């Protein structure tokens, strides 16, 4: 049992992590609800959803990464004793979020459909996915704006309100799915496209709930929420650069996984649906690790802001340990129950025959995939922005994408081959990032001025 400062920090980590974990699971639950409701309506519609979600998830995840500076800079300001300045971080974040979300919506809505039609997919699959992609794009701006408010609350170590509002939005999403997906009277769409419309409504509810909560907080005025953010170019640059690094990492990783969905589409429509099931379950395991990553980053950022190197290292190691233990436990639960898990998504015999063995093999990368994201967050929180992005580029783009083509298409291992490529890439990414964190342990935490120059 941990004692002393390590025990206090472990309790603080877990106290911060559990609502963030539930909040991230709420993000995943929206996609899961879509996959389950659409999949039970039609296996082909599930294929539309899977292909449409590929470019949508790239846009969402890259946009969210660009906002990570809101979380990190809020935590650093608290650590440096500048609590009255955190409102400026939020105001800058909301402006960034609006423009990032608007650009993402336009790019996805305008560029997504023609890109899907050029990828060699079955014509019906491409058309169904294109229609669904356009509908997903309409609510991207609302989703990204909601993330700015949520990250700010997490940086303040107040994740519970964001978690509650996220699950309220999930309830709205589920009710809309059940109403719209089978075909609602007066609504000209059903299936995957209707599922995307339901998610758009839930995202608007999420944004409104978070914005209203933040504006009505008793401390909002004292925190500077209602004051115009002062021009502080060095702090603005740091906030953007942290976002650039996280956004690039997210883009590389999610774009690579989305490319694997396209490879599955080259195999067959059942392979696309099977890959969607594997990816959805993997996401359910991964999202709690995003919660631990957030908690670790907030505490590391606070310790970094206070100039406490020992606390930076100690909190980081605690976060890595929690991640390794819970991902190992989840792997051991899912492995023997893979058939039952797949059956919860679909009763299509062809899809189940492909997805079940693929999910068993996927259990091998749960630990390394979780570790790599937690270590990357810890590194960014202590001002190491570049190396996580380079590591993700090498692991998931340079290594995983061609390896997936070779194993899945050239060697005809199909979805199993794609999963083995993810296993190898995640192991490489986790190893490189852990090595980087260990190397930095020997370096002192720099002062705020030095950090500004270095960033």
Q: What is the pLDDT of residues 237-258, one digit of tens each?
A: 777 787 777 777 877 877 788 7
Say yes or no to pLDDT of 333 above 70.
yes
Contact 202, 30 (CB under 8 A): yes
The two counts, helices (H) then strands (E), for the chain are 18, 0
The confidence score (pLDDT) of residue 264 equals 87
Distance CA 16, CA 22 (A): 11
* Average pLDDT of the segment spanning 400-416: 92
Max mean pLDDT among 1-5, 59-63, 187-191, 327-331 falls in 327-331
How does residue 73 score in pLDDT terms, banded at 50, 70 and 90?
Answer: confident
The confidence score (pLDDT) of residue 26 equals 83
Contact 58, 137 (CB under 8 A): no
The confidence score (pLDDT) of residue 44 equals 79
Max mean pLDDT among 76-80, 104-108, 346-350, 443-447 falls in 104-108
The confidence score (pLDDT) of residue 448 equals 45
Instruction: Render the burial of 52-67: b for 16+ CB within 10 Å, e for the rest.
Output: bbbbbbbbbbbbbbbb
- What's the token pair of residue 326? 């819970």
Identify the helix (H) or strand (E) that includes residue 260. Answer: helix 233-267
Contacting residues for 217 by C-beta, under 8 A, at least 6 apart: 223, 225
Distance CA 39, CA 34 (A): 8
The confidence score (pLDDT) of residue 401 equals 92
Lowest mean pLDDT among 21-25, 63-67, 228-232, 446-450: 446-450
The confidence score (pLDDT) of residue 451 equals 44
- What's the token pair of residue 332? 């051991």
Distance CA 239, CA 71 (A): 9
Say yes or no to pLDDT of 29 above 50.
yes
How does residue 2 score in pLDDT terms, banded at 50, 70 and 90?
Answer: low
* Average pLDDT of the segment spanning 315-337: 93
Say yes or no to pLDDT of 368 above 90.
yes
Q: What is the mean pLDDT of the chain?
A: 85
The confidence score (pLDDT) of residue 455 equals 42
Instruction: Render the burial of 131-165: b for 16+ CB within 10 Å, e for the rest.
Output: bbbbbbbebbbbbbbbbbbbbbbbbbbbbbbbbbb
- Residue 23: which domain range? 4-454
Say yes or no to pLDDT of 91 above 50.
yes
Distance, CA of 351 to chain centre: 26
The confidence score (pLDDT) of residue 48 equals 84
The confidence score (pLDDT) of residue 406 equals 95
The residue with greater pLDDT, 231 or 220, is 220
Contacting residues for 23 by C-beta, under 8 A, at least 6 apart: 150, 159, 162, 163, 166, 291
Lowest mean pLDDT among 213-227, 291-305, 416-430, 435-449: 435-449
The fraction of the chain above a pLDDT of 90, given in percent, is 34
Distance CA 339, CA 362 (A): 13
Helix orientation angle between 4-41 and 191-216, rounded to the nearest 10 degrees: 150
Question: How many domains, the chain?
Answer: 1
Backbone φ and ψ of 220, nearest 5°:
-55, -45
Give the three-state DSSP class for 116: helix
* Average pLDDT of the segment spanning 196-212: 94
pTM score, whole prediction: 0.75
Say yes or no to pLDDT of 340 above 90.
yes
How does residue 360 score in pLDDT terms, banded at 50, 70 and 90?
Answer: very high
Distance CA 304, CA 321 (A): 20
Say yes or no to pLDDT of 142 above 80.
yes
* Average pLDDT of the segment spanning 23-45: 81
Say yes or no to pLDDT of 189 above 60.
yes
The confidence score (pLDDT) of residue 249 equals 80
How does residue 208 score in pLDDT terms, banded at 50, 70 and 90?
Answer: very high
The residue with greater pLDDT, 421 or 312, is 421
How does residue 235 score in pLDDT terms, banded at 50, 70 and 90?
Answer: confident
The confidence score (pLDDT) of residue 444 equals 59
* Average pLDDT of the segment spanning 140-169: 91
Ramachandran class of 412: left when φ > 0, alpha when ψ lies in -120 to 50, beta otherwise: left
The confidence score (pLDDT) of residue 450 equals 43
Distance CA 28, CA 33 (A): 9
Contact 261, 275 (CB under 8 A): yes
The confidence score (pLDDT) of residue 453 equals 37
Distance CA 426, CA 370 (A): 9
The confidence score (pLDDT) of residue 365 equals 93
């Amino acid at each position: 049992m941990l004692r002393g400062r390590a025990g206090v920090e472990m309790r603080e980590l877990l106290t911060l992590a559990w609502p963030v974990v539930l909040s991230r699971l709420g993000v995943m639950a929206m996609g899961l609800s879509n996959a389950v409701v659409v999949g039970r309506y039609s296996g082909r519609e599930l294929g539309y959803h899977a292909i449409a979600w590929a470019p949508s998830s790239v846009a969402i995840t890259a946009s969210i990464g660009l906002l990570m500076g809101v979380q990190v800079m809020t935590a650093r300001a608290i650590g440096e004793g500048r609590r009255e300045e955190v409102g400026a971080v939020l105001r800058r974040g909301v402006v960034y979020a609006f423009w990032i979300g608007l650009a993402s919506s336009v790019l996805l809505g305008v560029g997504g459909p023609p890109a899907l039609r050029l990828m060699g997919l079955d014509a019906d699959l491409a058309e169904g996915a294109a229609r669904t992609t356009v509908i997903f794009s309409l609510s991207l701006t609302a989703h990204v704006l909601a993330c700015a408010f949520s990250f700010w609350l997490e940086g303040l170590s107040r994740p519970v309100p964001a978690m509650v509002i996220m699950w309220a939005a999930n309830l709205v999403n589920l009710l809309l799915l059940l109403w719209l997906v089978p075909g609602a009277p007066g609504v000209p769409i059903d299936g995957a496209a209707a599922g995307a419309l339901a998610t758009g409504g839930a995202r608007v509810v999420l944004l409104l709930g978070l914005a209203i909560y933040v504006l009505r907080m008793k401390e909002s005025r004292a925190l500077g929420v209602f004051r115009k953010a002062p021009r502080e170019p060095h702090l603005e640059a740091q906030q953007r650069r942290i976002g650039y690094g996280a956004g690039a990492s997210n883009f590389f990783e999610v774009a690579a996984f989305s490319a694997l969905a396209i490879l599955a589409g080259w195999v067959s429509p059942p392979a696309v649906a099977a890959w969607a099931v594997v990816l959805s379950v993997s996401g359910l395991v991964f999202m709690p690790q995003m919660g631990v990553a957030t908690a670790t980053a907030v505490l590391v950022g606070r310790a970094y802001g206070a100039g406490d190197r020992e606390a930076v290292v100690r909190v980081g190691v605690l976060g890595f340990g929690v991640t390794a233990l819970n991902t190992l436990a989840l792997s051991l639960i899912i492995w023997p129950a893979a058939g039952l898990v797949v059956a919860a998504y679909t009763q299509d015999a062809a899809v189940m025959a492909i997805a079940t063995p693929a999910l068993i093999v996927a259990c091998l990368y749960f630990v390394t995939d979780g570790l790599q994201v937690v270590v990357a967050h810890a590194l960014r929180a202590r001002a190491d922005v570049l190396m996580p992005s380079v590591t993700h580029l090498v692991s998931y783009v340079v290594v995983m994408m061609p390896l997936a083509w070779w194993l899945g298409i050239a060697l005809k291992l199909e979805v199993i081959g794609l999963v083995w490529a993810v296993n190898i890439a995640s192991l490489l990414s986790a190893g490189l990032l852990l090595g980087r964190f260990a190397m930095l342990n020997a370096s002192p935490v720099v002062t705020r001025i030095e950090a500004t120059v270095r960033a």
